[in-house]
Structure 1
Amino acid sequence: MSPADLAVDSGRCHIDLGETGPALHQITQGVALLPTARDKTRAVFLAYEAESLLRQGEIDHSAAIAHEALVLAERIGASRCLRQISNLARDYEPHVNVQGVQQLLHTVRTEA
């Protein structure tokens, strides 16, 4: 397990515990440590980061990160990440007036 994987897995655990601040820190750190050769993993990690931001109420930032993950996942064929973002998309629906959310939801619908 690489340091990037460990950091993101720790962040994922923090999300599950409702500790969004530490989750975001760990996930952001893990994403930064990933080499470009691991783009599939990067897409999944970005989806985790988007979820953490969403849980913190950072809807616009979260939508931007989720969209980035979705575009990357589509480009490289990362079906797991596409499912993650698709599942997370329903949590954005109450926020359709927030910047970036409509674009994300549109992209999710066209990629699904």
Structure 2
Amino acid sequence: MQSKDIEHALAVTTESLDLASRIGAERCVTLIRELAPGFKPYRQVDGVADFIERLQVA
């Protein structure tokens, strides 16, 4: 996957997490958290490592 694809996926997933957290949709937060392993190979892409850490505390 290209870096731009990962950056786009990260942006969409971050926005989804923000919304789900804001409205208290725990099931959605759980589903988003399950996406974390897919991002791990791309930790070198800006923002991915921070996002994975954020998911661990979400």
Fold match by TM threshold 0.5: yes
Aligned match of 2:29: 82
RCO greater where, 1 or 2, for CA within 8 Å and sep 6 or more? 2
Structure 1: which 5+ residue stretches go unaligned? 1-56
Name the amino acid aligned to 1:67: T
Greater Rg over alpha carbons, structure? 1
Q: 5+ unaligned residues in a row in structure 2: which ranges?
A: none
Aligned structure 1 segments of 4 or more residues deviating by more than 6 angstroms: none
CA distance in 2, matches of 1:102, 1:85: 15
Residue-pair matches, total = 55
Partner of 1:19: none
Choose from 7, 18, 27 the match for 1:71.
18
TM-score by length of 2: 0.82
Q: What is the CA–CA distance in structure 2 between the aligned matches of 1:97 and 1:110, rounded to whole Å? A: 20
**Secondary structure at the counterpart of residue 65 of structure 1:** helix
Task: Quote the residue 1:109 is aligned against.
Answer: 56
- 1-structure distance, mates of 2:47, 2:8: 8
Distance 1:106 1:68 in 2: 16
2:38 maps to which of 91, 94, 98: 91
Sequence identity percentage: 36
